Amino acid sequence: MSERLQPGDVAPDFTLPDADGNEVSLSAHRGRKVIVYFYPAALTPGCTKQACDFTDNLDLLTGAGYDVIGVSPDQPEKLGKFRDKENLKVTLVADPDKKVLDAYGAYGEKMNYGKTYMGVIRSTVVVDEQGKVERALYNVRATGHVAKIIKDLGI
């Protein structure tokens, strides 16, 4: 398990395939702020709620200078089904080998019903225009998280 990112750290660059197989790179967003959020699995209730919240607030976020990228260990095909089923507008990228999840500290030990296992830690990292971490939030809740980000960022 890698270290969690802290404000001021350089955000690890990545290039991952989106739901259509097109490459998406963090560095391509330089000059804009980016909200990178990490979620366990497409087409699950909590992740659907979170992705729909980001989609519902996407105009507000992009208008304030923020792009949104969702990262999960799912394959691009599953992300495409997720996007189409829920009419999602956020960019979803696939990290099946979990290299980016690990680099951001969003993959590690979790506990559920007393059992410890390895999994995706629901996390959100706000990256500034220069590619540095502005905020790093770990173990966030799926419900209400987007509203909290908007409030905390003063949007």
Annotate 11-24 with DSSP letters as a single string: PPP-EEEBTTS-EE
Instruction: Determine which one of 26, 47, 90, 125 is catalytic.
Output: 47
Sequence-ordered list of residues with C-beta below 8 angstroms from that of 121, at least 6 positions apart, any chain: 38, 105, 106, 107, 108, 110, 138, 139
Sequence-ordered list of residues with C-beta below 8 angstroms from that of 27, at least 6 positions apart, any chain: 13, 131
Owner of token pair 């799926």: 142
Return the closest-CA partner of residue 142 out of 123, 118, 116: 123
Distance, CA of 52 to CA of 74 (rounded, Å): 17
Give catalytic status of residue 47 as yes or no. yes
Distance, CA of 149 to CA of 155 (rounded, Å): 9
Residue numbers annotated as active site:
47
